[in-house]
Amino acid sequence: MFQTLLDYFQGSPLSLWGPFGLLLLCGLGLPVPEDVVLILAGALGEMDGRSWMRVSLYMYVGVVGGDSMIFFAGRHLGTRMLASSWLQRILPPKKQIKVEGLMERYGSMALLIGRFLPGLRAPIFFTAGSMKVSYLKFVLFDGFAALISVPIFVWLGHWLWARFQDDLEELNEALARTQSYSLWFAVLLAVLTVVWLWTRRTRKTA
């Protein structure tokens, strides 16, 4: 998928806005892995002479924008959509109960953790909207989590293209090796953050 998208956007006026648009469409259910799009954006940025920090800023807005679409779908259509047969195939009642349990048990922390759970991220955000969680709270926690993951993957794409651009086979091998490492690194940072926030919260209530 990475190679296909790279061939499509390379040298195109959409080399920046194409990945941005894909991230928004991911919020509408486009079955494209978000990390692949972010790595692609970093590689395209390196080709076009854009800094990875600048690219990260644009992609951050795209990621949070896509997540917000899921949230507002839950806010405005949640009750009706949850009862529809086609959504129950995607989000069956057992999964709905699991997600609601996560929200009730962990509260806002579930929003932060949800960003790193591909199979549960959209259901968690959708459920948060349907449960009338405030948008400010949603965007604070989701935005903070995205602030961890987005720059990591954009930088990875930037670095991989700078190092392996003349050898696409080696680039794809390096991508396969490092993609999962970057994800786990982002997850580790998120977990450490959750533990730190939870510890502070416990001390305040003690």
Residue pLDDT, tens place only, 51-86: 999 999 999 999 999 999 989 988 887 666 666 665
89 pLDDT above the threshold of 60: yes
Q: pLDDT band at 42, cuts 50/70/90?
A: very high
Q: pLDDT band at 198, cuts 50/70/90?
A: low
Rounded-to-integer distance, Cα 116 and Cα 154, Å: 16
Look at 94 and 20; give whichever has higher pLDDT.
Answer: 20
Rounded-to-integer distance, Cα 148 and Cα 169, Å: 29
CB 82 within 8 A of CB 127: no
Report the range out of 76-85, 88-97, 104-113 with the highest average pLDDT: 104-113
Torsion, Cα 181 182 188 189, to 10 degrees, reads: 160
User: Looking at 37-167, which runs of residues are DSSP E strands?
Assistant: none
Mean pLDDT of 12-28: 88
pLDDT of residue 127: 83
- Segment 29-37 long-range contacts (CB within 8 Å, at least 24 positions apart): 29/122, 32/1, 33/1, 33/118, 34/63, 34/118, 35/149, 35/153, 35/179, 35/182, 35/183, 36/1, 36/2, 36/5, 37/5
Residue that is written with structure tokens 């395209």 in the block = 44
Q: pLDDT band at 178, cuts 50/70/90?
A: low
pLDDT of residue 193: 66
Nearest one of 97, 93, 74, 94 to 85, comparing CA atoms:
93
59-68, 101-110, 146-155, 193-202: the lowest-pLDDT one: 193-202
- Dihedral-angle region of residue 127 (phi above 0 means left; psi in -120 to 50 means alpha; beta otherwise): alpha
Mean pLDDT of 88-109: 71
Mean pLDDT of 101-121: 74
Residue 165 three-state SS: coil
Share of the chain above pLDDT 90, in %: 23
Rounded-to-integer distance, Cα 133 and Cα 107, Å: 10
Element at 12 (helix H, strand E): none
